[in-house]
Amino acid sequence: MQLDFSGNDGVQNNEANIKIIECPRDAMQGIHEFIDTDIKASYINQLLKVGFDTIDFGSFVSPKAIPQMRDTAEVLSKLDMSNTKSKLLAIIANTRGAEDAVQFEEIDYLGYPFSISETFQLRNTNATIEESLKRVEEIQNICAKHHKKTVIYISMGFGNPYGDMWSVEICQQWVDRLADMDIKIMALSDTIGIATPDSISYLFKHLIPPYPDVEFGAHLHTLPHNWLPKVEAAYQSGCKRFDAAIKGYGGCPMAKDDLTGNMATENVISYFDTNQVPTHLNMDAFRQAMEGSTAVFKHA
């Protein structure tokens, strides 16, 4: 597909607003060589000019676990929030991280990775699924107290490589329990890039209708050649929230293919431009962010 960065001005469309969540945190966190704090802040400041719904900018987790994100608070202090409509999201892995994150007024959302694979949940957050569910309840209470919103990433949402049981019914079971906690934003996460257009379509079509007050998102990892059918399947099945990272940087270190990365933001924008679905982004600012990404991810 030919990328079209002409923007959407003047397009008349009755579709609900598309939300694109730009994820520099996800793109940066796996890079071993530390990225200078000022470089991170400058890049995120440029992203704030684009008009993304949300910027997943950092995380409050153990520096031993994710060394790259140890300067999240310092990066935040350097961000200019005075002229942006974007909101900030930080990832946390436990209640301690939540308590740290809610101290910052600039942060709107706290994201927690909730896996429906027992094996991956233990590896990712050192907790069983039931223990993780208790954490979600505690995090939700912390967020409510500080006027923040919880975003739950349902990781391994489309299957897993560990042999743990998976089905739409199992996914539905956990969505039921999360919805009962008043969780209003859930992103189905294809952590290792195994989702197919059929499985994406099937899952969203079965999960979205029963929960009209829950916003379901797509956090899809993909190979460079097969992104289009995945975006199309999610959108045509009712998904209006898409996580992405410029140039597809990042991805899960457990992916079996080194080329499996995040969904590239420019591809998501291209899909919606081609289909005349407005994203309301400042494309000049986006081009500048694309150009600036080279300095940030030179060691990616």
Q: What is the pLDDT along the chain (300 residues), one digit of tens a residue?
A: 344 444 443 333 345 689 999 999 999 998 999 999 999 999 999 999 999 999 999 999 999 989 999 999 999 999 999 999 999 999 999 999 999 999 999 999 999 999 888 888 888 778 888 899 999 999 999 999 999 999 999 988 888 777 788 888 888 888 999 999 999 999 999 877 888 999 999 999 999 999 999 999 999 988 888 999 999 999 999 999 999 999 999 865 444 445 468 999 999 999 999 999 999 999 999 999 999 999 999 877
| pLDDT of the residue at 178 | 94
Output the pTM of the full model: 0.90
Q: Answer whether residue 188 is part of any domain.
A: yes
Q: Answer whether residue 219 is part of any domain.
A: yes
For residue 90, give its domain range: 19-296
- The answer to whether 21 and 217 have CB atoms below 8 angstroms apart is yes
Beta strands in the chain (DSSP E): 19-22, 54-60, 87-92, 107-115, 149-155, 185-190, 215-222, 241-244, 261-262
| pLDDT of the residue at 293 | 96
Q: Answer whether residue 273 is part of any domain.
A: yes
| pLDDT of the residue at 256 | 46
Using CA atoms, how far residue 15 sits from 19, 45, 117, 277, in Å, is 12, 29, 34, 7
* Token pair of 282 as six digits: 């400042």
Helix, strand, coil percentages (3-state) for the chain, rounded to 5, are 40, 20, 40
Q: What angle do CA 241, 242, 244 make, to 5 degrees?
A: 155
Q: Residue 8 and residue 276: Cα distance in Å, rounded?
A: 7
Tokens 């990433």 appear where? 153
Q: Is 196 exposed, middle or buried (0-12, 13-18, 19+ CB in 10 A)?
A: middle
Per the structure, how many domains does the chain have? 1
Q: Residue 250 and residue 255: Cα distance in Å, rounded?
A: 11
Q: Answer whether residue 222 is part of any domain.
A: yes
Helix (H) or strand (E) holding 268: helix 265-274
CATH number, position 147: 3.20.20.70
* Token pair of 169 as six digits: 């019914």
| pLDDT of the residue at 245 | 97
- The answer to whether 112 and 77 have CB atoms below 8 angstroms apart is no
Q: Answer whether residue 2 is part of any domain.
A: no
Q: Residue 124 and residue 65: Cα distance in Å, rounded?
A: 10
Q: Answer whether residue 182 is part of any domain.
A: yes
Q: Answer whether residue 244 is part of any domain.
A: yes
| Three-class secondary structure of residue 96 per DSSP | helix
| pLDDT of the residue at 8 | 40
* Token pair of 23 as six digits: 């994820």
Q: Answer whether residue 9 is part of any domain.
A: no
